[in-house]
Structure 1
Amino acid sequence: MKQPCSPVSKKGMSYPMDLTFQGLEKDYLRITDLEIVEMEGEDIDGILDIENLCFRSPWTRDAFKQELDIDCSKVFVAKKSTPHKKKIVGYICLWMVTNEVHILNLATHPNFHRHGIATSLLSFGLEFSILLGAEIATLEVRKSNLPAISLYNKFAFEAMGVRRRYYSDNYEDAIIMCSKLSYIVNRES
């Protein structure tokens, strides 16, 4: 049974990566043979590999399977061409609720850090959300995750509050961040 939310689009579609946010073009130049597509069930193993490498309290297989059945959820994967197949090198999980997109998770494989993949995924996710009417974006991030905070600042995210002892593995605080997406759209005009 599907969870009650506003649906965001048909499952199984592939979306072109032809838009960029002004000022971030250099990040796209570091990426070759990268494709961003909507997650399918067969992608979960590759996503779990990244999840287990990147997080102390990783999501489970069932958690990702459930995302496939939640109408307001979108999970996009970044796939890089290798000589034998396409390898999943990152993913972003979003929830669209009315005019807000909430970013639940964003990760890249450690072997592909600093290649612009997280920037591409975040850019893609925000562009997708804007097309569906999102006006604001929200997320939580560990206060110690300075590289992620720096990335979010590039997209006009600002700290709006703190969730004390938010993370169950070490009770670290989470910074609540928000971006008014009109700022990003106006920057492109």
Structure 2
Amino acid sequence: MDSRFTIRKMQREDVEEVYQIELLSFSAPWSKESLFYELEQNLFAKYLVVEFEGKVIGYCGLWVIMDDAQITNIAVHPDYRKMKIGEALLRFSIQLSKEMNAKRLSLEVRVSNHIAQSLYKKVGFLSGGIRKRYYTDNQEDALVMWVNLV
């Protein structure tokens, strides 16, 4: 990732830009209210953003509960994809999870999303199972992927 990009902790004022990325990235996006809740009320949640020239262009949310971490959502604005930003966010999230003493990091991904699965495999995630009819918009199955951090 280019050094002009910065990964930092998400702030309240970032929610609108993160929400716009949600709308552009997912068929069942999280609401602004959910993003505010995650940021301000969920004690287990950690949210990161990627900033470029004062604009939020990507984000990643994770929950760290005891020794388990889970990526809840990750996305990059369509105009900035294929620039290794998602990979940088994943690697940063892995490092953050390790620093918080998590032993494993998991996520769910649509079984049809082969591009994302390839990225997750590239940074060390393995397939761990299927969650049947996980996605509410079309009942698509989710592939559970995880990486050991120890």
Judge same fold: TM > 0.5, yes or no.
yes
Q: What TM-score do the two structures reach when normalised by structure 1?
A: 0.77
The answer for the alignment partner of 1:59 in structure 2 is 30
- Report the Cα distance in structure 2 between the residues aligned to 1:154 and 1:133, rounded to whole angstroms: 22
- Report the Cα distance in structure 2 between the residues aligned to 1:128 and 1:137, rounded to whole angstroms: 10
- Report the Cα distance in structure 2 between the residues aligned to 1:98 and 1:151, rounded to whole angstroms: 26
Q: Does the alignment pair 1:142 with 2:115?
A: no
- Report the Cα distance in structure 1 between the residues aligned to 2:45 and 2:82, rounded to whole angstroms: 27
In structure 1, give the amino acid aligned to 2:130: V
The answer for the alignment partner of 1:185 in structure 2 is none
8 Å contact kept, 2:87–2:123: no
Matches within 5 A, 1:9-158: 28=1, 31-68=2-39, 69-81=41-53, 86-158=54-126
SS at match of 1:78: strand
- Report the Cα distance in structure 2 between the residues aligned to 1:172 and 1:166, rounded to whole angstroms: 6
How much has 1:51 moved relative to structure 2?
Answer: 0.3
Give identity over the alignment, percent.
36
- Report the Cα distance in structure 2 between the residues aligned to 1:160 and 1:133, rounded to whole angstroms: 21
SS at match of 1:63: helix
Larger radius of gyration: 1
- Report the Cα distance in structure 2 between the residues aligned to 1:90 and 1:177, rounded to whole angstroms: 21
Q: Which runs of 5+ in 2 are unaligned?
A: none
Q: What is the number of residues matched between the two proteins? A: 149
Q: Which runs of 5+ in 1 are unaligned?
A: 1-27, 183-189
Structure with more strand by fraction: 2
Aligned residue among 127, 131, 140 for 1:159? 127
How much has 1:101 moved relative to structure 2?
Answer: 0.8
- Report the Cα distance in structure 2 between the residues aligned to 1:113 and 1:180, rounded to whole angstroms: 27
- Report the Cα distance in structure 2 between the residues aligned to 1:135 and 1:115, rounded to whole angstroms: 29
Q: What TM-score do the two structures reach when normalised by structure 2?
A: 0.96
The answer for the alignment partner of 1:13 in structure 2 is none
How much has 1:32 moved relative to structure 2?
Answer: 3.5
How much has 1:73 moved relative to structure 2?
Answer: 0.3
